[in-house]
Amino acid sequence: MLNIFKELVYSSGVVNLTAGNIFMWLIAFVLLYLAIKKQYEPLLLLPISFGILVVNLPLTFLMEPEHGLIWFFYHYGIEMDIIPPLIFLGLGAMIDFGPLIANPKTLLLGAGAQVGLYVTFFAALLFGFDLKEAASIGIIGGADGPTTIYLGSKLAPHMLGATAVSAYAYMALVPIIQPPIMRLLTSEQERKIDMGKMRPVSRLQKIIFPVLTAMIVMLLAPPSAPLIAMLMLGNLFRESGVVERLTNASSNELMNIVTIFQGLSVGATMTATVFLNPKVLFVFFLGLFAFTVSTATGLLMAKFMNLFLKNKINPLIGAAGVSAVPMAARCVHKVGSEANRRNYLLMHAMGPNVAGVIGTVAAAAIFLKNLG
């Protein structure tokens, strides 16, 4: 009887628990709290935090290569580049590029915000990260989860959990991080700039845009193909108006299914042995730096453009050049309307916001071309 009891205890995970496992549970509980109670990016943080929890239960072998259930999700979904492009398909089916088409100049604001990403790349190198690690940290500044995961899984898979969680956590914190930077870098007068009404965009223009963008971006940066192709296909589904079932499937069922696998797989990479390393934890600090600098460079790009433009743009919309669709645009609108009640910046900010998605993919493709 005693032997049976002993065997039961020794074959259980309890005796194999480490302090690291328990610490990771605490992280999982904090993320669960943020997802459920605070509703910070719950669609992602909830499966990520559950992934962290279950992978840190000893002897479950969920991430055991060739055997573990979540390992299969991770291997076929993330390592083999299936999930991030599928998320982009759904994203494309949900995004309205109309505000960007109405004001193509905002594409430059999407590029401006990416400068922060390269500044962070350089900063990470100064803090002792190697080139590939620095690139996967820098991309956090793009505030685009699937692109962060796509690049991270190729360049620094050992830091994937930290970079992905960092990206999603800071995306959720956009309303807290961005406004002080916006107020610091713009004057009251600039924040009051009224951009008026947007020009109307026809259906034909909306149909041509994804086709043209896919061709240009993929010709100039071929490594961007998986993400840009799927993003623009999803958008073409939406704008063509003839495949409503495919649009709905991409933006609802498919998107929801792959989101589950993505979250769980990313969370499961955060085992105590990999994650509890000062270098990996430092990623969170650099992620915040990336986000801050990208916001600032987007704003400064808008101010720079105003030196040459006859019809001035409100520089606040430059801050939406980080992706984080649509939270960054909403944040711009809120800060703008505080300065001028009649200022309706939401749609104007959506232009650089969706340009930021394209810009981040282009930046990731250039990183891959140089370091992949």
The vertex-57 CA angle with 53 and 58, nearest 5°, equals 155
DSSP, res 12? S
Query: Coil, strand or helix: which one is 57?
Result: coil
The verdict on 104 binding another protein (CB under 8 A) reads: yes
| Binds another protein by CB under 8 A, chosen from 50, 118, 237, 291 | 118
Instruction: Identify the residue whose tokens are 């109309």.
Output: 98
Q: Give the ranges where the chain is alpha helix by DSSP (H).
A: 2-10, 19-36, 42-55, 69-73, 83-94, 98-102, 106-126, 131-138, 145-155, 160-172, 174-185, 188-191, 203-220, 225-240, 244-248, 255-268, 272-275, 278-306, 327-339, 346-371
- How long, in residues, is the chain? 372
The count of other CB atoms within 10 Å of the CB of residue 248 is 14
Candidates 171, 156, 123, 143; CA nearest to 285 is 123
The verdict on 303 binding another protein (CB under 8 A) reads: no
Nearest approach, Cβ of residue 207 and another protein (Å): 9
| Nearest residue (CB) to another protein, 17 versus 125 | 125
| Nearest residue (CB) to another protein, 176 versus 212 | 212
| Binds another protein by CB under 8 A, chosen from 24, 31, 89, 107 | 107
The verdict on 362 binding another protein (CB under 8 A) reads: yes
Token pair recorded at residue 223: 């490594």
* CA end-to-end distance (rounded Å), the chain: 58
Q: Which stretch binds another protein (CB under 8 A): 107-115, 166-174, 266-274, 310-318?
A: 107-115
| Nearest residue (CB) to another protein, 13 versus 241 | 241
The vertex-265 CA angle with 262 and 266, nearest 5°, equals 80
Instruction: Please report, to the nearest 10 degrees, the dihedral formed by the alpha carbons of residues 162, 262, 242, 214 taken in order.
Output: 40
| Nearest residue (CB) to another protein, 210 versus 263 | 210
Nearest approach, Cβ of residue 371 and another protein (Å): 7
Nearest approach, Cβ of residue 53 and another protein (Å): 36
| Nearest residue (CB) to another protein, 29 versus 122 | 122
Residue count, binding to another protein (CB under 8 A): 38
Nearest approach, Cβ of residue 123 and another protein (Å): 11
130 Cβ contact partners less than 8 Å away, ≥ 6 residues apart: none
Site for another protein in 341-360 (CB under 8 A): 355, 358-359
Full DSSP string of 73-94: HIIIIIITT-HHHHHHHHHHHH
Nearest approach, Cβ of residue 257 and another protein (Å): 31
The verdict on 87 binding another protein (CB under 8 A) reads: no
Helix (H) or strand (E) holding 321: none
Nearest approach, Cβ of residue 292 and another protein (Å): 18
The verdict on 150 binding another protein (CB under 8 A) reads: no
Q: Which stretch binds another protein (CB under 8 A): 66-74, 79-87, 106-114, 189-197?
A: 106-114
DSSP, res 199? P
Nearest approach, Cβ of residue 369 and another protein (Å): 8
The site map against another protein for 211-240 (x = CB under 8 A) is: -xx--xx--xx-------------------
| Nearest residue (CB) to another protein, 221 versus 345 | 221
The verdict on 125 binding another protein (CB under 8 A) reads: yes
Chain contacts with another protein (rule: CB under 8 A): 101, 104-105, 107-108, 110-111, 114-115, 117-118, 121-122, 125, 130-131, 134-135, 202, 204-205, 208-209, 212-213, 216-217, 220-221, 355, 358-359, 362-363, 366-367, 370-371
